[in-house]
Amino acid sequence: MMAGVTPPPEDQPARRRRRRDATVVPGDGGRPPSPAVAAARVLVQALAALGVRDVVLAPGSRSAPLAYAFADAARPDDERPAGAPAIRLHVRVDERDAGFLALGLAKASVHAGERGPGAARPVAVVTTSGTAVANLHPAVLEARHAGLPLVLLTADRPHELRGTGANQTTEQAQLFGSSVRLAVDVPAPSGLPGEDRDLRRAVSRALAAATGARTGDPGPVHLNLAFREPLVPGDEPWPAASDAGLSHVAGRAQPTEQWAASTGAVPVVVEPVDEAGERARPSRRARGAVPTVVVAGDGAGPGAARLAEANGWPLLAEPSSGARQGPNAVGAYRLLLADERLGGRVGRVVVLGRPTLSRPVQALLARPDVDVLVVAPRGTDWPDAARNASQVLLEVPWRMRQGRVGAPAGWLDAWRTADAAAQDVLAGILDTPEDARRSRSGPRVSGWALARAVARASAPDDVLVVGSSNPVRDLDLVARWDLAPLVLANRGLAGIDGTIATATGVALGLPHRRVRAYLGDLTFLHDVGGLLRGPAEPSVDLQLVVSNDDGGSVFATLEHGDPGRADVFERVFATPHGVDVAALCAAYGVRHTRVVDTDGLLPALAAPGTGTSVVEVRVDRAHRRSLGERLATEVAAAVDKALSPLS
**Confidence check: pLDDT of 531 > 90:** yes
Distance CA 489, CA 370 (A): 29
Q: Rounded to whole angstroms, how far apart are CA atoms 55 and 127?
A: 11
Q: What's residue 267's pLDDT?
A: 34
Q: For 258-410, give the CATH class.
A: alpha beta
| More confidently predicted of 448 and 266 | 448
pLDDT of res. 479: 93
pLDDT over 70 for what percent of the chain?
86
Query: What does CATH list as the number for 439-622?
Result: 3.40.50.970
Peptide bond into 230 cis (omega under 30): yes
Residue 99 has pLDDT above 90, yes or no: yes
pLDDT one-digit tens code per residue, 390-427: 999 999 999 999 989 999 999 999 999 999 999 999 99
| pLDDT given at position 114 | 61
Give the whole-angstrom CA distance, residue 70 versus residue 56.
Answer: 10
Residue 433: pLDDT band with limits 50, 70, 90: low
Extended beta strands in 244-309, E state: 292-296
In the predicted structure, residue 375 carries a pLDDT above the cut 90: yes
Q: In the chain, which segments carry CATH 3.40.50.970?
A: 30-226, 439-622
What value does the mean pLDDT take over residues 610-628? Answer: 88
Q: What is the pLDDT of residues 148-193, one digit of tens each?
A: 999 999 999 999 888 888 888 888 999 999 999 999 999 999 999 9
Q: Where is pLDDT greater, at 23 or 628?
A: 628
The secondary structure of residue 253, as a DSSP letter, is P
- Residue count of the chain, please give it: 647
- Please state the φ and ψ torsions of residue 85, each to the nearest 5 degrees: -80, 170
Nearest to 505 by CA among 17, 14, 109, 175: 109
Residue 463 has pLDDT above 60, yes or no: yes
Which segment of 49-63, 230-244, 262-276, 538-552 scores lowest on mean pLDDT?
262-276
**Structure-derived torsion over alpha carbons of residues 82, 84, 88, 90, reported in degrees to the nearest 10:** -110
What pLDDT was estimated at residue 446? 83
311-347 per-position pLDDT tens digit: 999 999 999 999 999 999 999 999 999 999 999 999 9
Nearby residues of 250 by Cβ (< 8 Å), 6 or more positions away: 213
pLDDT band at 19 (very low <50, low <70, confident <90, very high): very low
Q: Which of 504, 551, 542 is nearest to 523 (CA)?
A: 551
Question: So what's the pLDDT on residue 613?
Answer: 96
Residues forming CATH 3.40.50.1220 domain(s) in the chain: 258-410
Q: What angle (nearest 5°) sits at the alpha carbon of residue 159, between those of residues 54 and 40?
A: 30
pTM: 0.88
The residues facing 613 across adjacent strands are 543, 591
What is the pLDDT of the chain when averaged over all its residues?
87
Name the region of 353 (left: φ>0; alpha: ψ -120 to 50; beta: rest). left
* pLDDT attached to residue 115: 61
**Bridge partner list, 487:** 464
* Cα Rg of the chain (Å, integer): 27
pLDDT at 266 over 50: no
Q: Is 27 exposed, middle or buried, given 0-12, 13-18 or 19+ CB atoms closer than 10 A?
A: exposed
Nearest to 202 by CA among 224, 171, 173, 220: 224
pLDDT above 70: residue 297: yes
Q: What is the pLDDT of residue 435?
A: 44
Query: Quick check: 647 pLDDT over 90?
Result: no
Residue of higher predicted confidence among 562 and 49: 49
Number of H helices, E strands in the chain: 21, 17
Query: What is the Cα–Cα distance from 451 to 545, expressed in whole angstroms?
Result: 10
**Which candidate, 281, 282, 209, places its Cα nearest to that of 1?**
209
The pLDDT of residue 442 is above 60: no
pLDDT above 90 for 633: yes
Average pLDDT over residues 120-138: 96
Domain 30-226 CATH superfamily: Thiamin diphosphate (ThDP)-binding fold, Pyr/PP domains (3.40.50.970)
> Taking residues 517-530, what's their average pLDDT?
95
Residue 542 pLDDT: 97
- Using the CB atoms, write b or e for 572-593: b if 16+ within 10 Å: ebbeeeeeebeebbeeeebebb
More confident residue, 432 or 232: 232
Residue 340's contacts (CB-CB under 8 Å, 6 or more residues apart) are none
What does the pLDDT average to over 489-518? 95
Q: What percent of the chain has pLDDT over 90?
A: 69
